[in-house]
Chain A
């Protein structure tokens, strides 16, 4: 942590950490404290009187069917995004690890969606699936399927999941590929000599050895689906139709900024905070040391 050889005491180190600490206090810790404090208050309709109500806001929140629904949808959404993008990325990574020629080219072509902003990704997918004009909608209707994510909640969810997973494939692919390349070739050779085919080798050797990477990616993908998908939802469905894609990050924004419900929004913030803290603890406690490259 600290170097054995270091500089003597002076004010300099304080000056060095000052910018980071000042920004952290003003824009991170203070607002988070405010959110905690506000989550314990209820303001009357005219904003004249505030009352300290302990955990009542949380009680109200969980008694609302809308909020419980939103919670459930977020869980469905993030598991679908994680499963879809991870399995797609794993298949591609296994194949790219197998082929010798062109692996680098494939990598170049597979990683760029990482650089596309969530909002931009949302715009592309909304365009392809536009109920009247979209090119995929056209293809689907030629096959006899009417796609309209503006009316059908299930389709809206599917669309948001696809866009979010598409963006994340690049990231998962890179990590899976790195994980695969770090598996000792001798193990796989030994299995091949014993007569195990490619499928058997994947199931009994490669996949188990890849599990630290898989677990790490699972946590990262859930964090991504929980917090980085605001733009996708905002641009594609705005939480609709009828709240079908109203995930927690979107709801905290729309209740706080559009609905101006301070206490309720703060309580939602606090719940999100608890989720991030939980995920970060899991990530650092169980993941950090076990993933090796």
Chain B
């Protein structure tokens, strides 16, 4: 505190609370909509306070879906999202750890060439190569599979850079000691490098889980089978149906279900999340 200005402090708190209210308002409205019946959700004005139908709507969303549709809930979609998010985050971490290890601890031909090749992926987001990537995946027969959903997204320049940075800060003496003790490179990797970068792995996992869970364009392109849809896609599908008969209670319950896992990850692993964010984007 530089100086004591009680009025300014009170004003700051008020403004912050206002800011929090503005940020949280859409989420509050979603929660409220998920606790009312479909009939209440067609009466103007819509409620601002929660009703008592939360669990009914939860059951509807998980097991039945919209009444006009085939009667499939979003349970399967939630599962697909989870599998995709886990495969993407674990895959990215695994291959980035390995390539960072190679780049930092080995001298071999084309080392820098490989490094720059990985760097290039930073400049090629899915959005700029939509059609050709789709064709590749189609030719490999990976449409509508978990492999197709995850593998094309697991190359990661940022993760490789981060692990490179981490490995560079690990003292050389550790490698010398390991070599004197006769440890093989992979033994050194498993028993020294991995344990020493545990926090970074966890921080990165938090960021990547959110990234994977929230993927939209890619699953939209390569899945056409209802059983492979992710929950984020389910929301879009339901909104299209809402043009005719809006069942906002179910749609908003689905939206709630779609945001609970990543939001929980952020809130409960806040320290790791902030660490991951500042380290990968720097």
Cβ contact within 8 Å between A265 and B131: yes
The 10 closest A-B pairs by CB, nearest first: A31-B132, A117-B214, A34-B132, A16-B102, A13-B106, A115-B262, A27-B152, A231-B216, A13-B102, A31-B133
- Contacting pair A6 B106 (CB below 8 A): yes
Query: Which chain B positions have C-beta within 8 A of A108?
Result: 267, 270
B122 at the interface (CB under 8 A from A): yes
Once bound together, how far apart are the Cα atoms of A44 and B137, in whole Å? 25
A121-B259 Cα distance, complex, nearest whole Å: 9
Give residues 12-47 of B contacting A (CB, 8 Å): 12-13, 15-16, 19-20, 23-27, 29-30, 33, 41-42, 44-46
B127 adjacent to A116 (CB under 8 Å): no
Cβ 8 A contact of B3, one of A99, A192, A273:
A192
The answer to the question of A293 belonging to the interface, with a C-beta cut-off of 8 Å to chain B, is yes
Cα separation A217 to B137 with both chains bound (whole Å): 34
Collect the chain B residues with CB atoms within 8 Å of residue A252's CB.
127-128, 130
- Cβ of A12 within 8 Å of any chain B Cβ, yes or no, is yes
In angstroms, Cα B40 to Cα A38, docked, is 53
Interface stretch, picked from B50-58, B59-67, B231-239, is B231-239
Task: Determine the distance from Cα of A228 to Cα of B210 in the docked complex, in whole angstroms.
Answer: 14
Interface of B is mostly: helix
In the complex, which residues 85-116 of chain B have their Cβ closer than 8 Å to any Cβ of chain A?
94-96, 98-99, 101-108, 111, 114
* With A111-B270, A276-B123: A127-B33 Cβ-Cβ less than 8 Å: yes
- In the complex, which residues of chain B have a beta carbon less than 8 angstroms from the beta carbon of A24? 117-118, 120-121, 155
B217: chain A residues at CB < 8 Å are 230-231, 253
Taking CB as reference atom, which chain B residue is nearest A88? B19
Residue numbers in A under 8 Å from B24 (CB-CB): 109
Task: Please determine whether A13 and B155 come into contact, CB atoms closer than 8 angstroms.
Answer: no
Q: Are B20 and A109 in contact (CB under 8 A)?
A: yes
- Cβ–Cβ contact B29 & A257, under 8 A: no
* Residue B129, interface by CB 8 Å: yes
Q: Could you tell me if B123 and A273 are in contact, using CB atoms closer than 8 angstroms? A: yes
Select the residue from B125, B131, B233 with max chain A CB neighbours within 10 A: B131
Q: Which of A33-81 contact B (CB under 8 A)?
A: 34-35, 38
- Main SS at interface, chain A: helix
Q: How large is the interface on A (under 10, 10 to 19, 20 to 34, 35 or more residues)?
A: 35 or more
- CB of B13 within 8 A of CB of A20, answer no
Q: In the complex, A209→B155 CA distance in Å?
A: 36
Contacts of A161 in B (CB 8 A): none
Contact with B along A1-37 (1 / 0, CB 8 A): 1111111011011101101110111111111101100
Residues of chain B with a CB closer than 8 A to A32's CB: 124, 128-129, 132
Give A132 to B45 CA distance when docked, in angstroms. Answer: 10
- A residues sitting closer than 8 Å to B (CB atoms) are 1-7, 9-10, 12-14, 16-17, 19-21, 23-32, 34-35, 38, 88, 91-92, 95-96, 98-100, 102, 106-121, 123-128, 130, 132-135, 138, 166, 169-171, 174-175, 178, 185, 188-189, 192, 198, 220, 227, 230-231, 234-235, 249, 252-253, 256-257, 262, 265-266, 269-270, 272-273, 276-277, 280, 288, 291, 293
Contacts of B114 in A (CB 8 A): 17, 21
CB distance from B215 to the nearest CB of A (A): 8
Residues of A within 8 A of B255 (CB): 120, 123-124
A27 touches B155 (CB 8 A): yes
A133-B44, A133-B246 given; A120·B127 CB < 8 A: no
Asked if B124 and A7 make an inter-chain contact with CB atoms under 8 angstroms apart, the answer reads no
Does residue B154 face the partner (Cβ distance < 8 Å to A)?
yes
| B121 x A171 contact (CB < 8 A) | no
B29→A124 contact, CB < 8 A: yes
Q: How far is the CA of A252 from the CA of B3 in the complex (A)?
A: 54
- Give the contact stretch, choosing among B70-78, B196-204, B273-281: B273-281
Q: How far is the CA of A269 from the CA of B252 in the complex (A)?
A: 34
Determine which of B46, B95, B135, B235 lies in contact with A34 in the assembled complex, contact meaning CB atoms within 8 Å. B135
B178 CB to nearest A CB, Å: 10
Q: Name 14 extra pairs, CB < 8 A, besides A3-B172, A117-B232, A220-B281.
A: A20-B99, A20-B155, A23-B155, A99-B13, A102-B16, A112-B266, A119-B216, A120-B259, A166-B23, A169-B23, A174-B274, A235-B235, A269-B130, A273-B123
Docked CA distance A88–B22 (Å): 11
